[in-house]
Amino acid sequence: MTLLGEMGKHSEGLSSSLLPKLSIYSRDSTIQMNLLIDLNMKRVMLHQLLSVFEEEGAEVMNANTQKLNDRMIIYTIIAQAIISRIGIDPSRIEERVRDIIF
């Protein structure tokens, strides 16, 4: 798996000043995105993130949201390329997700 990008800094505790954190992993024709965002920041809807994956040629296999401490939310999306020989461009997905969260 390859980590393409991560926003924020690593810390032992989760501080809202370090958010959002974006991690995108890609292997073969599968891609996984993890996004940790403060609820007080810009509102991000799951359907916006799913649309990015679908528009970039991926079929979403699993999507999950989890609320932490009534302050933070984690989005996890796992997708697979619709056409495996063409694949998915993780850097393009990362760029588009960054545009949504900022």
Q: Give a three-class secondary structure readout of 31-99.
A: EEEEEEEECCCCCCCHHHHHHHHHHCCEEEEEEEEEEECCCEEEEEEEEEECCCCCCCCHHHHHHHHHH
What tokens does 46 get? 């799951």
Q: Where residue 79 falls among pLDDT bands split at 50, 70, 90?
A: very high
**Based on the structure, what is the number of domains in the chain?**
1
How does pLDDT run across 12-21, given as a tens digit for each residue? 455 556 789 9
Residue 26 CA, chain-centre distance (Å), reads 12
Average pLDDT of the segment spanning 76-93:
93
- CATH number for the domain including 21? 3.30.70
Average pLDDT of the segment spanning 29-49:
93
| CB 54 within 8 Å of CB 63 | no
How does pLDDT run across 86-99, given as a tens digit for each residue? 889 999 999 999 99
Length of the chain: 102
| pLDDT for the residue numbered 2 | 42
- Is 18 in a helix, a strand, or coil? helix
Domain extent for 35: 2-101
| pLDDT for the residue numbered 84 | 85
